[in-house]
Amino acid sequence: MSPRKFFVGGNWKMNGDKKSLGELINTLNSAKVPPDTEVVCGAPSIYLDFARSKLDAKIGVAAQNCYKVAKGAFTGEISPAMIKDCGVEWVILGHSERRHVFGESDELIGQKVAHALESGLGVIACIGEKLDEREAGITEKVVFAQTKVIADNVKDWSKVVIAYEPVWAIGTGKTASPQQAQEVHEKLRHWMATNVSEAVAKSVRIIYGGSVTGASCKELGSQKDVDGFLVGGASLKPEFVDIINARA
């Protein structure tokens, strides 16, 4: 089993209200969280304060995005400083929906990663290929290019989790097979060893995202280079507790 601490992130996306999230939080607060598993929930920005104040301290909270500077005339954006002011310690950056729905470039994502880390936040940095890219056989080319822009902006890797999320498997019900996930994770780790350092390649957590469920999590989580999950839809359901305990 990997020496890296298992990491389970829940990305609530643009879902929930105080009533439904409050019920989910009660379920999570009473859940058994294995001591060797780190759990972080990504709440909508308007509920960051609510989530942090209600969730048990054993569960971390993440913002789902942030901007690349501390403050200024950027209507609708939030900064790492504001996130920290809510007692929140993580941010998800580069999610495929930010890239492909909102048009964020690799360069912007890199700038956000740099500023979030400089501000003391932990970063869940997302990478992943689209279906046409996988079918064209350029998965590695795409994910390595995305990873390079992130890596160029990281000084302290202890605060970074890499989330490999094949875009074709997000919200589609399609999941990469455990073998497909392991193959990409292993190649990413090899890329890190070659382009960053052997020590970082060994220590950095590379988690999988893309239609992870209570049914698929155990086999995915048993792969040598899969260090956890970033969970979308299932993180809003009671089965998220089963996913947290995938390695228990």
* List of the chain residues with pLDDT < 50: none
* Predicted local confidence at residue 215, as pLDDT: 94
CA proximity to 205, closest of 62, 3, 36, 1 = 3
Residues noted as catalytic:
95, 165
pLDDT of residue 3: 82
Which residues neighbour 76 within 8 Å (Cβ) at sequence distance 6 or greater? none
Provide the token pair at 151.
């890596």
What domains, with CATH codes, occur in the chain?
6-244 (3.20.20.70)
The predicted model scores a pTM of 0.97
By CB atoms closer than 10 A (0-12, 13-18, 19+), residue 240 is buried
Per residue in 122-155, pLDDT (tens digit) is 999 999 999 999 999 999 999 999 999 999 999 9
